[in-house]
Amino acid sequence: MGNALVLVDVDGVLNPRDRPHRGFKRHRCSPNGVTFKLWLNRAHGPLLSDLAAAAGAELAWASYWCDSANEWIAPRVGLPALPFVPIPRFPGPETGRTLGAWKARHVAAYAGARPFVWFEDEPDATECVAAEAGVGPHLLVAVDPVRGLTEAHLALAAAWLAEHGA
């Protein structure tokens, strides 16, 4: 089955929509020449690394940032370069899929039968990933995109990973 995965989205998870609480710092990031202003917390990287290490899991990006997260996000939150789920640009609702369903399709293909925890803010991603064929045991940790990732989310993921032998 392989090692468990800890998958992390960027926007809405590491980069909350509203001005967050203490510990966050504003950053300008310009992947592909497009500038974004992000709120990032340097403590998130070590917390995520510790979670993955304790579970013997592989930490990876599950975000439209794909490999750009390694250049623009990882160093600002204290992470090394990570593997990433290759999520192509969302073609739009004309496909009959929501954004959460589109991402879920690619996450399920990447994870296969491996157990995984996914920190995600898309509201329908849970049911969408569960509907994908061949997906392994998983926990989608629903993150409020206004607040972003919290210690409660990390504790929930740690408990699930421990319970599932990861």
Mean pLDDT value across residues 81-85: 97
Q: Is the pLDDT of residue 121 over 60?
A: yes
Mean pLDDT value across residues 82-94: 85
Considering only residues 101 and 154, tell me which one the structure prediction assigns the higher pLDDT: 154
The pLDDT, as a whole number, for residue 166 is: 59
The pLDDT, as a whole number, for residue 94 is: 66
Cβ atoms 120, 139 nearer than 8 A = no
Contacts of 28 (CB under 8 A, 6+ apart): 35, 36, 37, 38
Considering only residues 85 and 100, tell me which one the structure prediction assigns the higher pLDDT: 85
Considering only residues 30 and 117, tell me which one the structure prediction assigns the higher pLDDT: 117
The pLDDT, as a whole number, for residue 97 is: 74
How do residues 8-61 score in pLDDT, each as one tens digit? 999 999 999 887 777 898 888 888 888 889 999 999 999 999 999 999 999 999
pLDDT band at 165 (very low <50, low <70, confident <90, very high): low
Percent of the chain with pLDDT over 90: 65
pTM: 0.92
Angle of the 44-55 helix axis to the 151-163 helix axis, nearest 10 = 10
Q: Is the pLDDT of residue 105 over 70?
A: yes
CA-atom Rg of the chain in angstroms: 15
Phi, psi dihedral angles at 67 (to 5 degrees): -70, -20
CA nearest to 147, candidates 36, 37, 35, 39 = 39
The domains found in the chain, sorted by start residue, are 5-163 (3.40.50)
CA nearest to 29, candidates 45, 15, 43 = 15
**Beta-carbon count within 10 A of 126 CB:** 18
Task: Give the type of residue at 88.
Answer: P
